[in-house]
Structure formats: C-alpha cells, structure tokens
Chains A and B, each alone.
Chain A
Amino acid sequence: MSFKKEKLGKRYNKSEVTQSYLMISPMIIGFSLFTLYPLILIVKWSFTNYTGFGTPEFVGLENYIRTFTQDPNFWEAILVTFQITIAKLGIGIPLALVIAVLISTKSKINTVLRTVYFVPSIISISVIGLIFYILFEPYRGIVNQMMINSGMIERSLPWFSNPTMAKGLVSMASIWNTFGIDMVLILTGLLSIDKSIYECAQIDGANRAQQFFKITIPMLAPVLQVVVLMAMLNAMKITDLVLVLTNGQPGGKTEVVMTYIYKYFFTGELSAVQQYGYASSMSVVTAIILGIITVFYLKSSAKKTEIY
C-alpha cells in the first residue's frame, strides 16, 4: 500500500480513491447524459425559436418576454397547479397522518388495512384516471346514478363541465393515488418514536389529544418535512392524471403547468406547430418557481425539525 499526505493532513490510499471514482462513474455518466445534458439543451433552446425541425434561430429573451407578458394561459395553468397542490396538501397529508395514527398499533386488521390503503399507490396513473372518469361521468357514471337513485339529486351533476368540480375531481384522484405512500412514510416515523415518552406523558396526566399535538406531531417533524416536500413537488409536477382524466377540459380550466408545457413540446396540440423554444422557456421559468418554493419551504421548516 502506498500512502500520500494531503494538505489537510489526511492520509488516503491512491488505489482506494481510484476505486471510489470508478464506483460512482456510472452514476455520474448517467446523470450527465440524462439530466445535465438535457438541462443544458433546454436552457439553450429557450433562447431560440426551435420548432423541432430546421436550425434553431437565436431570438434572445423573446420567449421569456412572451411567457411573462403575452401568455395568460401559462399563469392560469400555474394557478390551477397551485390550487390542486393546496388541496392535496390540505387534505391528503392530514388524512395520511390520521390514518397512520389509527393503524399504528400492532394487530392483524391493521396489517390488512396498511396493505389496502397502500394499493392505490401502485395502480397505474392512467388506470386511476379511467376509474375516476367511469365513476363520475355524467351519462351513466356510478356516482351520479347512486345520487339520483337515493334522491339526493334529480339530474346528473356536470362533474367535468364545471371547472371547479373538474379541479376537485383531479385533486381527489391525486389524493387517492398518493395518500397511501404518505401514510406509510408517516407510519415509519410513528413507529420510531420512543414509547417511553408517551408513558411519561401519561403519568404526567396528558390526554390522547395532548399527546398527539405535543409529542407525536413534533417528533414526526423531520418525517413530515420530507413527506410534505415530496407531496408538494409531486403535486406541482402532475401530468398524466390530468391528461387522462380531463385533458385540460373544460376549456383549458384544468390545464396544469406540466400538461400545458407538454402540449407545446410534444404534440403541438395547443399550437398546431410544436414550439420547442417557447416550451423550453416555460420549463425554465417553472423550474425556477419550483426551486424558489422548495428553498423557501426548507428554510421555513428547518427550525421545526429540530427535535430533542
């Protein structure tokens, strides 16, 4: 073995370092090819009027000016995305938390329930979109038929023609798809909390509600931080569910930012001509917005994860 001293005084084995770099090389190559290179290409295209064929022509900041000042539909899509995200966080996370607490004790029924609640997370998004469409479609949808037969309503509700109801459906389908995985992550955190803390609290006279809010929630803070961040990012990137369930209808009112960008990129459905350059600029702006939200969230939630 040969040793060499570094400036910091650490000793390392040259062959071990070489081996380390070789071990991480597949990841670096993959990252460079499939993440870094496409990223550079997108930023480059965002300054051009590239339509997918011919040579991209440099247009400076024209695409960004169009994004910020001439495309209200893009900002409407951002707003719809935020609305769906807030609905998902406001309903999905508390639901996952409550269910995780309810099934955290060891029992056969809880083991079955954990599996049942997790199943929606492994169903294909396209299938979920179809299921919800069949449930809520106005002509012979199960939900409408049940409500009519029970006397709650006289005529079918226009679930897909009312923008608010359509957005509600997208949120509902998304929550149903992901709350299982959130529940499992929270459950993992719950099971790692030392039971002796609860015993001490009980001795001190704390009731269940007090134990939940004063012990469970604070102790779950690190896990909740990650769960909320993942849920937020997944909600803001929602694409296939919207494409299958509503395709942005009615009249583009359920178009989210990712489907809006997708249609400019791949299908030319929104513009007849694929506009790679403009779609790239929207992608960059969206990535910056997501980045700002992520940094803001992590900074604001950092102190809350300091547990004793």
Chain B
Amino acid sequence: MKKLLSFIAVIAIATTLFTGCGEKKNTASNSSAKSDSSKVETISWWGNYGGQKAFIENIVKEFNDTIGKEEKILLEFKNFGGDYNDVINAAAISGQGPELHKINNMMAKHASNGWILPLDDVPGGKDIIAKYNKDELKSTSFSLNGKTFGVPMQYMTYRVLYNKDVFKNAGIVDENGEAKEPKTWQDIYEYSKIITDKGNGKVFGFGAPLKWDSYAQNGLATQATSATGVWRGFDFNAGKYNFAAYKPVLEIMTKMYDEGLFFPGAEGLNNDSVRAHFAEGNIGIVTGASWDVGVYNTQFVPKGDWGVCQPIYLEGQTKYKEGIKSEAIVVLGKPAEKKIDKAMKVYEFIAGEDFFVPAYENSSWIPSSDLIAKATKEPDRKGFEDFATMDKGINMLEEPTGVITVKGDNYNSVFVKLILGLEKDIDKSLSDLDNRYNAAFNESDLNIDDYMSKDFKIELE
C-alpha cells in the first residue's frame, strides 16, 4: 500500500512539470478552432503605445463599428508596459504573437528571424510601398536584405523644452515680458546659470537623466543634430562616424555640470524623475522628443506654462537641419499569414489618412506633411504643434549603430563620463569613439552605400 501511494505521489509530481505546457497547447488549439468556425476574423494588434493608448482604443472601436462590420473583422488591441519588448519577442519565438504589432527598434532582429512578413510578398503590399520615398525605405528601420517590412507612418522630432514660468521668475524675458526661448547651446548655458543663481537651491537651470542608459542617444545627440550636422554620431554625407562634432556641445554640458547648473543628483535620475521635476517647476530646461507631448499633457503635467524650442544651434557656427526620425508604428506578424487578406485591410487602414489625420488632430502622432495638410482642426494638446513643425528638419537615414558590434564603452557611457568629469580629455575620448565605431562599421558586412548619400543636404540654407 505504501509503495502504491509512493508511486502515485511520484507520478503526480512528475505530471505537474508538464501541466503548463499541456494547458497552453489546448488553449491555442481551442482558440484556432473557434476562429475557424466564426465568420468574423479576429485580428490582434499589440504594442506599448503609452500616451497614444486612449486614441487607439477609440479608433479601434470606430473601426470595428464601421469597416470591421463590413469586412467581418474584429480588431482587438492590447497595450503593454515597459516589458513589451520581452513580451513580443517571447510571443514571436513561440509563434503565438499577434497579427499586427509595434516593432520599436527590433526590425532587423524580427525580420532576420522570419517573425514578421515583408510587404513585398503580401497582397496589396507593393501598392503601399510605392507610395513612399525609396531612399527613405532603404533604412534598416523599414527594410532588410532588399525586403520592406514597414513604411514611415509617423515622424519624431527631438527638441529642447523650457519652463516659461521658471524663466519669467528668473527674469529671462523679452521686451514683451514673455519668456525668452533659447536659440543656441550658449543660451542654454547662460539661462541655466541665471536660473540656478536665482533659484536659491530649489530651482536649477538644466535637468539631465544621466542614469538613463539611452540619454545620449535620445536626449542629447538627437537634439544636437542641428548644431553638429551628425545624427547620433553618424555623418551621412561622409558615410562614417564623427563624434568629434559633439565637442562644443559636450564642453558646454560639462561646464554646466561643473558649475552646479544641473539639477542635483543627475547621475541618479531617470527620465521620469527629470520630467516630474520639470513639471514641478524645479528645472528650467530639459531635452525631450515628440513623444513627450502625451507625457506632459497627461502624466507629468507642468504646473506652469512651458514651451518647445525650435532647433538649437551653436553661436557663430554652421547651422544644420534638425533630425527627424520616421518610424513604422505597426508591422505584420508571422501569424498574419493565415488571415492575410483581413490583416492587410487593417494594415491599410492604419497606414492611411483615416487613421493618421485623426491621430494628428488628437496629438497622438506626427504624420507626413501631406496628411498634416488634410487636418481640419488644430492638435488639441499643448506642445504638439510645435513638435510637428518640421520645416527646418530633414528625414534621417538609419545609422548603423544598431547592427554593428562595438568593443568597449558605447557613446552614451563616454558622454556621461565626460559630463561628470570622470574623463577629462574630451579630444582623446571622442577620437577613441570615432576609431572604435568606425572600426566596427568597417569590419561589418554592411554596405556603406546604404548609410550615406552625397545628396543628403543637412546644412541649413
């Protein structure tokens, strides 16, 4: 009896190891059985859209009530948080991902693994591709090995933000008594100094989230394009890295940190902390991007007035166009193969004006200029129209940083070390960065022609 009970206990324990797998399989097959027998096809759309979530939920409902009913499509939208990249990767590996999803900066990874479908090979895909500039589609944000996986649906701009009330309190105003917008990096230094001097240890001139590992990429290098002519360290005219171009900007940043003009504890602040302090009126100037419109209108709403600067230059130096980054907000996942006609109907809707004109009016995304021209009302969120003014900008190609293997510190680490004074020799550090990044680029299999263009006119006329 004892032996029998022991044997049963062993089998029960061993079975629990496999229970999870068994249940998952059953769920998947049950759901596929359901969709086969239903007339309405469910198309799933996943992403981590943050501030755009509310807009998407509304437009998905509208879609389901109109086009969805006609075409017998039920569009299901699911929004994730900060773990989205891990979620979509796991779903893609297991083959249980959605038909449509946000790709973030993982286009190359998903495309090379066959987890997403090229538009070239799906019905109607080539017609969509034909609407866009071929040079823009060359970017690895959209294409890989001659196949196009996404199209430029939305545009992102990177600017400097300033708290107008903090400026007014510090006396940084024009002849009309309005806060004076910084025009150059030298202005940023001078205004930060005035704000900090008058701030009595409570208000500081400049805020930088140096704990954020992507600060240099998204909070400094991009905003400095109009002053340096390089995009995230890469010179598209020369087809090589040129971090040395950042020297004047980094010297100003280092000087500001040394003189205590940075909000204290910058090395321990992440992006949300800086945003919160900016909203509280504790910081005068921060850097940001167009996605911050949702943040500063819903999440960290500034107590006072704030503004978005136009592109920032260097005094007495060449002025360049600001960098604009285009992105596909959705791609076709491998599971879309089984429902490709319905999935493409949804894709065409999302890529079209019925989605993006309302998205612009709702201040969710910046679409192309021709779609902006079709808007019938102004964007309803503060700051969005300023970010969407792109007349001094140029669409950037994709720099190769995401697909080359660099040895040693990346440029974010080096920039932060320079600002904190942990590296003193700025020329040596930037030269070392150029050498290592260019070596990695040259050693890779990448075609240099994909990353340069002699026709790329970045100087501002």
Contacts and interface: CB of A to CB of B under 8 A. Distances in A.
Contacts of A137: 265, 268
B198 interface: no
A275 B14 contact: no
A270 B213 CA distance: 8
A133 B268 contact: yes
A66 B416 CA distance: 24
A52 interface: yes
Contacts of B265: 137-139, 158-161
Interface string B1-38: 00100110011011001000000000000000000000
Determine the interface band of chain B, counting residues with CB < 8 A from chain A. 35 or more
A53 B112 contact: yes
A290 to B, nearest CB: 24
A142 to B, nearest CB: 14
A163 B417 CA distance: 12
B410 A26 contact: no
A242 B73 CA distance: 48
A253 B109 contact: no
Given A19-B7, A19-B10, A54-B112, A270 B17 contact: no
A269 B213 CA distance: 6
A26 B3 contact: no
Contacts of A289: none
Interface stretch (A114-122, A215-223, A244-252): A244-252
A139 B263 CA distance: 8
B403 A273 contact: yes
B7 A246 contact: no
B402 A250 contact: no
A22 interface: yes
B117 to A, nearest CB: 16
A194 interface: no
A267 to B, nearest CB: 7
A252 to B, nearest CB: 6
A163 B421 CA distance: 12
Contacts of A270: 213, 409-410, 413
Interface string A52-87: 111000000000001000110100000000000000
Most A CB atoms within 10 A — which of B277, B408, B412, B423? Answer: B408
B407 to A, nearest CB: 6
B267 interface: yes
A49 interface: yes
Nearest to B265: A138
B112 A251 contact: no
A23 B10 contact: yes
Interface string A157-186: 011110100000000000000000000000
B3 A19 contact: yes
Interface string B202-227: 00000000110110000000000000
A140 to B, nearest CB: 9
Contacts of A253: 422
Contacts of A52: 109
A8 to B, nearest CB: 25
A274 to B, nearest CB: 9
B442 interface: no
A275 B277 CA distance: 35
A163 to B, nearest CB: 8
Contacts of A105: none
Contacts, number: 114
B108 interface: yes
A25 B14 CA distance: 8
Contacts of B108: 53
A275 B407 CA distance: 10
A202 interface: no
Given A23-B6, A26-B13, A138-B265, A272 B410 contact: yes
A26 B408 contact: no
Contact of B17 (A29, A71, A133, A247): A29
Contacts of A133: 268
Contacts of A138: 264-265, 268
Interface string B99-133: 00000000011101100000000000000000000
A156 B264 contact: yes
A135 to B, nearest CB: 12
A15 interface: yes
A273 to B, nearest CB: 6
A51 interface: yes
Given A22-B7, A246-B268, A51 B14 contact: no
Interface string A217-256: 0000000000000000000000000000011011111000
A139 B264 contact: yes
A275 B403 CA distance: 11
B202 to A, nearest CB: 9
B237 interface: no
A234 to B, nearest CB: 24
Contacts of B213: 247, 263, 267, 269-270
Interface string A129-151: 00001000111000000000000
Interface in A19-36: 19, 22-23, 25-26, 29-30
Interface in A262-286: 263, 267, 269-273, 275, 278
Nearest to B262: A161
Most chain B CB within a 10 A radius of its CB, from A161, A251, A273: A251
Given A15-B3, A19-B10, A53-B109, A271 B264 contact: no
Nearest to A278: B405
Nearest to B89: A52
Contacts of B110: 53
B7 to A, nearest CB: 7
B446 to A, nearest CB: 12
B416 A251 contact: yes
A161 B420 contact: yes
A96 B108 CA distance: 51
Contacts of A139: 263-265, 277, 282
B393 to A, nearest CB: 24
7 contacts: A26-B13, A73-B409, A138-B265, A160-B265, A251-B422, A270-B409, A273-B404
Leading 9 A-B pairs by shortest Cβ distance:
A160-B268, A269-B213, A138-B264, A251-B422, A251-B417, A138-B265, A250-B267, A249-B267, A53-B109
Interface of B: 3, 6-7, 10-11, 13-14, 17, 108-110, 112-113, 210-211, 213-214, 263-268, 270, 277, 282, 401-410, 412-413, 416-417, 420, 422-423
Given A23-B6, A53-B109, A73-B409, 14 more contacts: A19-B7, A49-B405, A51-B405, A54-B113, A138-B268, A161-B265, A247-B213, A249-B416, A250-B420, A251-B416, A251-B420, A272-B404, A273-B402, A275-B405
